Amino acid sequence: MNSFYAFVTASAPVVLVLFLDGYYLTRPLLGIFWKGTRPWLYAALAAALFALHSSFALFLFKSEIGSGAGGKEFTFVGGGAAIVFACAFAGRNLYLRWIHSK
């Protein structure tokens, strides 16, 4: 239970920043309006969208982050974009299989 609490506590700032900078609005819009059948391209666009939003948020909150980040911005943006790519790719594949199985 302590590890779950630690995970929720550690991820709360990321969720808040992504909400504030609009990622949770633009990502569903991409999913709604994307009509392509190439899941890798959709995943690449979703990852690029995440990277843009995250970079923008890091730029805006640079003074609040301070020097304690120590150059971890690239790791955060790159790692987050990789996670978004993997999730969007897998999710889009499952969605397309589900749609075509009906």
Q: What is the pLDDT of residues 88-98, one digit of tens each?
A: 899 888 888 88
- Above 70 in pLDDT, residue 7? yes
Instruction: List % helix, strand, coil for the chain (3-state, nearest 5).
Output: 85, 0, 15
Domain positions in the chain are 13-100
**What pLDDT is attached to residue 85?**
92
Residue 18 contacts by C-beta under 8 Å, 6 or more apart in sequence?
24, 53, 54, 57
Report pTM.
0.69
Question: Which two three-digit tokens encode residue 33?
Answer: 């309006």
Between these two residues, 21 and 6, which has the higher pLDDT value? 6
